[in-house]
Amino acid sequence: MNQIKKLLIIGPVWPEPNSSAAGGRMMQLISVFKQNGFEITFASAALDSDFMVDLSEFGVKKVSIELNNASFDDFVIELNPDVVLFDRYTIEEQYGWRVSENCPKAIRLLDTEDLHCLRAAREKAFKEKRTFELHDLLSEDITKREIASILRCDLSFIISEFEMKLLKDLFKIDAALLHYLPFLVDEMSEEDLLKLPSFEERKNFVFIGNFIHEPNWNTVQYLKETIWPIIKKQFPEAVLEVYGAYPSQKVLQLHQPKNGFFIMGRAADANEIVKKARVVLAPIRFGAGLKGKLLEAMQCGTPSVTSTIGSEAMHANLPWNGFVTDDVELFAKKAVELYHDENLWKQSQKNGVAIVNECYQLSKYSTALIAAVNSLLNDFESHRLHNFMGSLLQHHAYKSTMYMSKWIEAKNKN
């Protein structure tokens, strides 16, 4: 094996760390692999965006590829990567068979971001006004697709301990195919809090989130229609600033300055916005994975009030940096209480530091990640031999995906 290992990352979009938690996570992964000597190429069929990161600044080569086109085969053969990382299961479906066919020795990794099937099933249950049950997942096509993708890969990165347990218990996936990998951030100290704006220097409530993500749009609607009126009744001077990338017209229409409800649009620097706010509000009603906005709040020393779904798998057994409740009246009451009670606010800040250091320590999880990848590189044949279901799915599913892709490619030529 070459001393310098080559990593190919294939993504549905170019990373936008200032637009979404997914973009931030991708840059965390790039940083870890880069620091461990990997030569990285990032490939995508997406168009360039105004807000994408300049990958060259991070020593990453950017390559545009095409969907359903044999030109990818030539590209991947020439690159000959040691490791290929698929960003989300849909990318593995699209390019996995091509990687397997042209670079059979390349380790295939999947970053699930979060379990899309879990998010979709919860959203469906919510919109049908019924309680979500885990067995709801079993009947969804997206579940079958995502689980098949996980089985076909050598290793999948799972961001949430709740999702790790779900995959092992409900779907009986071998633990050897799963690797727990939360957000990766630097340790904090209580001295770091002293460098942040103080209680007196902060004002207003804030919500922040990418509006392409349906749970964020639903949260803002819920705030505007249900929770904010209760907060305003208890605290008439209250102001909520809502930030987020890609706000649609329906989002912008919620702007109501007379009622203290401000739709601010994209944040130039989300960190600076959250540092200046006194409390983050995030009554998230469906979703999956970990909530980047809530970890960011902890790093910014900003207490938060969120829901059970919002805090899911985010804080081990440690006290939350604020409050967790699904009760509307209690949510509003605790939000106002946290806003006005300086002692409570400062204790919540300290809770956030404890959570960051216990649950998201960069050094701990990055070391384990590289060790897992190197182990695969050293013995991928034995690993695959023990994953019979994966090889079975690869044999059948890749054949159907391959012929569909080649049919589309032939059709495009005509």
**pLDDT for 40-87, tens place per residue?**
999 999 999 999 999 999 999 999 999 989 999 999 999 999 999 999
| Interatomic CA distance for residues 232 and 223, integer angstroms | 11
| Interatomic CA distance for residues 164 and 176, integer angstroms | 12
| Interatomic CA distance for residues 206 and 261, integer angstroms | 10
Where do the DSSP E strands lie in 4-73? 6-11, 39-44, 61-64
Please tell me whether residues 220 and 331 are part of one structural domain. yes
Please tell me whether residues 58 and 79 are part of one structural domain. yes
- Write down which residue in 342, 359, 376 finishes a domain: 359
Output the six-digit token pair for 336: 């106002």
Report yes or no on 24 lying in a domain: yes
Please tell me whether residues 276 and 330 are part of one structural domain. yes
Binned at pLDDT 50, 70 and 90, residue 389 comes out as confident
The 3-state DSSP class for residue 262 equals: strand
Report yes or no on 88 lying in a domain: yes
CATH code where residue 389 lies: 3.40.50.2000
pLDDT tens, 122-161? 999 999 999 999 999 999 999 999 999 999 999 999 999 9
Please tell me whether residues 145 and 261 are part of one structural domain. no
Report yes or no on 353 lying in a domain: yes
| Interatomic CA distance for residues 168 and 356, integer angstroms | 26
Q: How many residues appear in the chain?
A: 414
Report yes or no on 55 lying in a domain: yes
Please tell me whether residues 321 and 198 are part of one structural domain. yes
Residues 6+ apart with CB under 8 A from 130: none
Please tell me whether residues 213 and 96 are part of one structural domain. no
User: In this model, does residue 280 exceed pLDDT 70?
Assistant: yes
Please tell me whether residues 286 and 390 are part of one structural domain. no
Please tell me whether residues 123 and 227 are part of one structural domain. no
Report yes or no on 1 lying in a domain: no
Residue with structure tokens 């208890």? 234
Number of domains present in the structure of the chain: 2
- Can you say how many angstroms the Cα of residue 122 is from the centroid of all Cα atoms in its chain? 16
pLDDT at 160: 97
Please tell me whether residues 205 and 306 are part of one structural domain. yes
Q: Are strands 6-11 and 83-87 parallel, antiparallel or unpaired?
A: parallel
| Domain boundaries, position 329 | 190-359
Please tell me whether residues 57 and 167 are part of one structural domain. yes
Residue with structure tokens 């902890």? 298
Please tell me whether residues 202 and 55 are part of one structural domain. no
